[in-house]
Amino acid sequence: MKRRVVITGLGALTPVGNSAQDSWRAVVEGRSGIGPITRFDASAFASRIAGELKHFDPSQYVDKKELRRYDPFAIYALASAQMALEDAKLAIVPEIAERIGVIIGSGMGGAQTLEEEIRVLASSGPRKISPFGVPAILPNLGAGHVSMRFGAKGPINCTVTACAAGTSAIGEAYRTITYGDADAMITGGVEAAVTPLGVGGFCAMRALSTRNDDPQKASRPFDKGRNGFVIAEGCGILILEELSFALNRGARIYAELVGYGCTSDAYHLAAPPPGHEGAGRSMLAAIRDAGLQTTDIDYINAHGTSTPLNDLYESQAIKTLFGEHTKKLMVSSTKSMTGHLLGGTGGVEAIFTAMALYEGMIPPTINHEDPDEGCDLDYVPNVARKADIQTAMSNSFGFGGVNAVIVMKKFAA
């Protein structure tokens, strides 16, 4: 039998809050974190809006003398991991350090540092490149810094699966515990790609919303007026523990993680296939891994990017897989409030999914004003809904055709 895995700690930095708890309260209240870009002069860009962190002080988590050595994505990971460990009341002492690991996903790693060092190279030559540049750029350094800071000596990894990276990381961390290779894992996703190249690249793909005059209405998953996603930054970290390990130390348990599925579309670099059968297979794989039936699922935190094809095809995949049970499903996209955190989104949305189970509250899909004929599910429009759900799913899909899905249950001893 598989070892049971539970969620005992949550830490987050998002456009709607500088902790998991503040972010959760914001999405339950339906507050948007989208606004004009302030990181750089975006006046020449087609999309000039983003989900940026607000009033975040990195010096609370990293010594001011060392800040220049860290890319923002690593700082976000360190801060969120510290909050998650404190929330779990888990101290990594030498006696257990080798049984605690770290897997944190990131799609783009140190994007800001990469751009800065390229500018230095172009303007001043190679002798001016920082010796801290390469370590700051590497995507695995989010996990690396967390491991070093907190002394976690168990398995370490970094999933780089684009917008599925956070969910991929959580799924692999879950498997690491079920296989017996660790007793606890620090896991989730992080991204800090609100940069000129990050925004400009997605603008060139015509993937971003250009609703610049009304930022808080720009992210509108499943709505007929959607015209692209809103790029965002942040991090979501969860502490996963083997059940007896958690119970023996009296840990609070938010939810139980029971299933993980991952598939490839093998279809296109960026576009999902019609009907999104790859997404359907990943959802089914996660349900089977959990030992459940499709009729057991109560709520889905959808990938729901606010792009024309993703929202339509994800809805089709859900209807195809769940059949008649679709009518009983609640589906919402918290990206309507946070924007799309790329590789960080799976970590943040896993936190929201766990909290939905823990508090019996379904976060809404805001800006759902004009239903699309092809998107006809119960998207919990505009207002959160009280519901005593037992089982929930979180979907993440990424460039390259990767689909990652996790399933959680309300914890019962």
Catalytic residue among 145, 276, 340, 368: 340
How are strands ordered across the β-sheet holding 391-398? 156-157, 100-105, 184-191, 234-242, 5-13, 255-264, 402-409, 391-398, 299-301, 330-332
325 classed as catalytic: no
At 11, phi and psi to the nearest 5? -145, 135
Beta strand 100-105 pairing with 49-50:
unpaired
Strands (E), 255-323: 255-264, 299-301
Catalytic residue among 163, 235, 262, 375: 163
Question: Residue 260's beta-bridge partner residues?
Answer: 406
CB 286 within 8 Å of CB 293:
no
276 classed as catalytic: no
303 classed as catalytic: yes
Catalytic residue among 145, 303, 368, 375: 303
Beta strand 402-409 pairing with 255-264:
antiparallel
CA 90 vs CA 143, 186, 250: distances in Å: 17, 11, 10
Q: Is 120 helix (H, G, I), strand (E, B) or coil?
A: helix
Half-sphere exposure of 229 (CA within 13 A, CB side): 24
Q: Is 59 helix (H, G, I), strand (E, B) or coil?
A: helix
Q: Which amino acid type is present at position 318?
A: I
Residues 6+ apart with CB under 8 A from 213: none
Provide the annotated active-site residues.
163, 303, 340
